[in-house]
A and B are shown apart, each in its own frame.
Chain A
Amino acid sequence: MRKPLLRLEGLTKAYPGVLANDDVSFQIGEGQIHALLGENGAGKSTLVKMIYGLVKPDKGRMTLRDRPYAPAQPSEARQNGVAMVFQHFSLFDALDVAENVALGMENPPPLRDLAKRIRDVSADYGLPLDPNRLVGDLSAGERQRVEIVRCLLQDPKLLIMDEPTSVLTPQEVEILFRTLRQLSAEGTAILYISHKLEEIRALCDEATILRGGRKVATCDPREKSARELAELMVGQILTPPERAAKPRGDVLLSVENLSLKSNNPFGTSLKDITFQLHGGEVLGIAGVAGNGQDELLLMLSGEIPSPAGQVRLKGQPIGQFGPNARRLRGLVTAPEERLGHAAAPDMSLTANALLSGAARKGLVKKGFIDWKKTDSFAREIIARFDVRTPGSHVLARALSGGNLQKFVIGREIELKPDVIVVNQPTWGVDASAASFIRQALLDLASAGAGVLVISQDLDELLEVADSFAALNEGRLTRVRPAKGLTVEEIGLMMGGAHDMHPAHEDAE
């Protein structure tokens, strides 16, 4: 038995309307890699925010090395040797690496000394970093390195990692795991938050599983199967989506040699994109975040117009059209960002149904909105896609991520499109909603439509896609049949670990 480092006893935190954590107790040993497993909304984030001093528990107490521990703010947690690598939200694009690191430290040395220490520490752990580069120009993997190095410089006793692999290629994950094992061997405990079961089984010594804010189990993940862990996490038995065998139809959507400049200064421009999508086909496009996924979606939705002939729908050039004209012709899209892009947060579901459905459903007549018809359209979506909401008058922002996503995807599917393009269809969505959405997309393909799924979740793509391509720095690989592809091959398509050279090669 390891010496306990951090003990949590009866931690409880309520927010208006939800009990985020209910009487959670467990302990983490020194040098242990401890997994915190749970679905979105299970209370993982709230729990670690309490450990990191961002949120105060309503009840319960924590002990760090046999001393009471109740950090009032993150700086106090850092002084006690608790460091955290955030999933997002903690880097500053317009500042350079050294400044970003300094902001996360209690008493940073002058920037010049800090730059040297960053080089030293990053070399020690095989995570090369140039302290003078702007963070906005870094890849997702490099950004994560900035966060990790920032923590390591403070010599932490406990390192909290929130979903660290969601932005990495499989090869980069392997390198990260090596670093974490090295840290653990040196005596640093790691609290590893994830919902990816195989990762946890590969890396962690112990796992605590949360569901609906309560602890359901603490176990050794290596002794359980991924399926057992999943059922503990979800609390029900999941059926993987089914697809009916279907013949491949004609080419519905084709893009030819399309290059497009990103309209975001920190974005990725598309370079020479070529692919075809057939009726009845589900084409999965993988890639680490920030490799052109957003731009690809904007290009296909018509938010960024392109030369007419380079994007064709059923053989007709549509590159010059905007989103509504494309929708009318049968191409619909559902972007990644639900609030603010796919749906207007402060408008009702009915109004949101109107926004994309108006043209195809004939909800507007002579400039006037047919509210009755619109509302029944919204109700139809709610009923068919099992959107849990009190009614169609509810504001989009009031829905949970999973429910809103079901609504947004359902809205597009209800338009009976020939081609649907979705980006991250199940990001931040609970498992049952996710499998529902995947099934709906597969059903649409079975009915003869072309489905293009852009996703960073490889498991999802392997589940739904017939054919497969990857985006890497704005370039799209050749489309390959999904059958028989291994995770390693996909990792290489995604760019492998090309920006993670061993330390000594990085002699900039």
Chain B
Amino acid sequence: MILGSINPAVLMAALMVAATPILLAAIGELVVEKSGVLNLGVEGMMIMGACLGFIVAVNTGSPFLGFIGAAFAGMALSLLFALLTQALMTNQVASGLALTLFGLGLSALLGQRYVGITPPRTPKLDLGFLSDIPFLGRAVFSHDIVVYLTIALVAAVWWFLKYSRAGMILRAVGENHDAAHALGYHVKRVRVLAIMFGGACAGLGGAYLSLIRVPQWTEGMTVGAGWIALALVVFASWRPWRAMAGAYLFGGIVVLQLNLQAAGVKIPVEYLSMSPYLITIAVLVFISSGRARASSNAPGSLNRPFHASS
């Protein structure tokens, strides 16, 4: 039996690693969209993070500094987006797409001399006896620290949006920016901060790809992870824990697909590599087929430009 060659513990472990970069990008974009901004530049910010994170890590020998650099790279690019959409009032969709193209191009240029190098290794976190638990130890407790920090970040974002006053203001700005402005909240300031957070998260997600998951730098290495993250936010109907469930589901499909290929299942490879994307589309259609806005919980002012004219 070919499927017997797939070890569930290894599969689970690989799934968490595969899910982490898209989860990071998605949780950042979730906050951005909750503030009412649609930033389609996630892919571009991720690849900039992947590239800059790689360069910094290679040059300093420290993956930690690499991640910091990646966060700043993503944030820098997102600030460009913030400048365009919040100060210059350009169209968010067009600016986001431009950001993706720009990020892909710039990272290819910057990363030219780094192709084929191996980055410094990020150590696995030593969790002592936890790692020795059968199955769970191998599947859940044998990862690098970023995997766990990402889960903590999801919890933090969930708490921030649900319980903190700042989170409430952010949701209010995303829900109805005219009302928020009338009450005296700084719509643009909130949005710029959210955009920066989203950029930093996307950058981290990119660095996770180039420093841990792959680990290598190649041009265009994110291959659509940013788009998956964007879809994930809608899939999760703007709820952090659902975004995590979605990321793990997606990661699971990716990993399973790889394993099936390795196990020699008699389906053309192309179909298998297509499957995660097909399933994402199917889930999106399924989710948005209901009574759209109420069931999907989309922020009311999403993708609407804000003029403080009145």
Interface residues of A (CB under 8 A from B): 53-54, 73-75, 78, 86, 89-95, 99, 102-104, 108, 264-266
Contacts and interface: CB of A to CB of B under 8 A. Distances in A.
A73 B182 contact: no
B176 A266 contact: no
Given A99-B168, A103-B169, A265-B292, A92 B182 contact: no
B175 interface: yes
Interface in B289-310: 291-295, 297, 299-300, 310
A95 B293 contact: no
13 contacts: A53-B184, A73-B184, A74-B183, A75-B184, A89-B176, A90-B182, A91-B176, A92-B171, A92-B176, A94-B300, A95-B175, A108-B165, A266-B294
Interface centre among A89, A108, A266, by most chain B C-beta atoms within 10 angstroms, is A89
Interface centre among B169, B293, B297, by most chain A C-beta atoms within 10 angstroms, is B293
B183 A95 contact: no
B29 interface: no
Interface in B155-177: 165, 168-169, 171-172, 175-176
Given A78-B184, A103-B183, 17 more contacts: A54-B184, A73-B184, A89-B178, A89-B179, A89-B182, A90-B179, A94-B171, A94-B299, A95-B175, A102-B165, A103-B169, A103-B180, A104-B183, A265-B292, A265-B294, A265-B295, A266-B294
B168 A95 contact: yes
Given A104-B183, A108-B165, A92 B175 contact: yes
A93 B165 contact: no
Interface centre among B182, B183, B185, B292, by most chain A C-beta atoms within 10 angstroms, is B183
Nearest to B296: A265
B168 A93 contact: no
B175 A93 contact: yes
The DSSP consensus for interface residues of chain A is loop
Contacts of A54: 182, 184
Contacts of A78: 184
A92 B182 CA distance: 12
Contacts of A90: 179, 182-183
A164 to B, nearest CB: 15
A54 B186 CA distance: 12
Nearest to A266: B294
Contact of A95 (B171, B178, B185, B310): B171
Contacts of A86: 179, 182
Interface string B39-81: 0000000000000000000000000000000000000000000
A354 B207 CA distance: 54
Interface string B239-262: 000000000000000000000000
